[in-house]
Copies of this chain bind each other. A is one copy, B any other.
Amino acid sequence: MAARMTRQRTAVVEALDELADFRSAQQLHETLRARGESVGLATVYRALQALADASEVDVLRAEDGESLYRRCARREHHHHLVCRHCGRTVEIDGPTVEAWASKVAAAQGFDDIEHTIELWGTCADCRASAATK
């Protein structure tokens, strides 16, 4: 059952570890290629999917629908504040919101409840570079 340890899988994990921000599969593929650690695009997708299934990476959808991946510091459930320009991310805890979400959903007779809570904004750096123009 354990995933086989290959050069490609290792390269993907290492790239994620060095990156602090949410990145798309395509971006990661390009990053790996630039480093010479070339990995097939399909393999990047497969590695990311496996990592997501194992809860080793978090996945979220950008506004344009593209999936973004990140190796977060915490393994526990949490949420994110993400810069929509550069992907910079702050991990967020929301005990208040957690309680609110499950209460509201249960009150309506819904089961198998999940919630999507993500905050998007422009980080201080991206605001600064936009002002420069």
Interface residues of A (CB under 8 A from B): 61, 65, 67, 81, 83, 90, 92, 94, 96-97, 100-101, 104-105, 108-124, 127
A-B contact pairs, 18 of them (CB 8 A): A65-B65, A81-B104, A83-B110, A94-B100, A96-B97, A97-B100, A101-B119, A108-B123, A110-B124, A111-B121, A111-B122, A111-B124, A113-B120, A115-B117, A115-B119, A115-B120, A116-B118, A116-B120
Q: Is the CB of A121 within 8 A of B105?
A: yes
B residues less than 8 Å from A115 (CB atoms): 117-120
CA distance A92 to B113 in the complex (A): 14
Chain B residue with the shortest CB-CB distance to A123: B110
Q: How far is the CB of A35 from chain B (nearest CB, A)?
A: 29
Q: Closest 5 A-B residue pairs measured CB to CB?
A: A110-B121, A113-B121, A109-B124, A111-B122, A112-B122
Given contacts A105-B121, A108-B123, A113-B119, 7 further A-B contacts (CB under 8 A): A96-B96, A96-B97, A104-B119, A110-B124, A115-B117, A116-B119, A117-B117
Copies in the complex: 2
**A121-B112 contact in complex given A94-B100, A96-B96, A100-B96, C-beta closer than 8 Å:** yes
